[in-house]
A and B are shown apart, each in its own frame.
Chain A
């Protein structure tokens, strides 16, 4: 069975500081990994996805994530936080052989202080 664990339900950073949101996965087969963002009262929007091509994946809004098989991690980073980045972020996995339904982590709420 596949699963993802997001460390830290709440993360707070200052505007301009590095954003690091952690995600570890568990999968017995090569995983496909996703990061979604949810702004208040909105649906989920894809930030980026890893599908076994480059291990460093660049997404929208300046976010990127690196797939590290040895650490079973797919952490999300952004060099400089902006106030508009305040939202909830979800890591998800979809593995080989599945019909594509995503298994989500519990989410990390990011706050950005001025």
Chain B
């Protein structure tokens, strides 16, 4: 079946511009996660959505980062006024439940380069 998809696969932007990254989770998965993978910091958790509950934003690095999940499915991660340190691969994952035992399935990522 279809896995997690992300778009665009690559994004080049200029410093100060806003960008939107999209994630389509596996159909029926109620939990959705965003992570960031960068050379200096490794893989970092950003934000978590579960069903209609308020998201866990504890990993967002600054208020320039926000995310929403419409209709419990597609999610968009928005970075405002991008900075060069935002350059990274942004990974989305989904899982079928809330248990910590649930496997998270990852998308291929969006590679963001801020010039």
Contacts and interface: CB of A to CB of B under 8 A. Distances in A.
Whether A and B are associated in the same complex: the answer reads yes
Contacts of B48: 99-101
A92 to B, nearest CB: 8
B95 interface: yes
A100 B31 contact: yes
B108 A41 contact: yes
Given A51-B101, A101-B56, A101-B59, A45 B43 contact: no
Interface in A90-107: 90, 92, 94-96, 98-107
Majority SS at the chain B contact face: strand
Given A99-B50, A100-B48, A104-B43, A42 B100 contact: no
Given A32-B101, A45-B106, A49-B101, A103 B91 contact: no
Contacts of B65: none
Contact of B100 (A43, A45, A100, A106): A100
A94 B100 contact: yes
30 contacts: A36-B106, A43-B4, A43-B91, A43-B109, A44-B93, A46-B104, A46-B105, A49-B103, A90-B43, A92-B43, A95-B100, A96-B100, A98-B100, A99-B48, A99-B50, A99-B98, A99-B100, A100-B31, A100-B33, A100-B48, A100-B100, A100-B102, A101-B48, A101-B56, A102-B33, A102-B43, A102-B45, A103-B45, A104-B35, A104-B44
Interface of A: 32, 36, 41-46, 49, 51, 90, 92, 94-96, 98-107
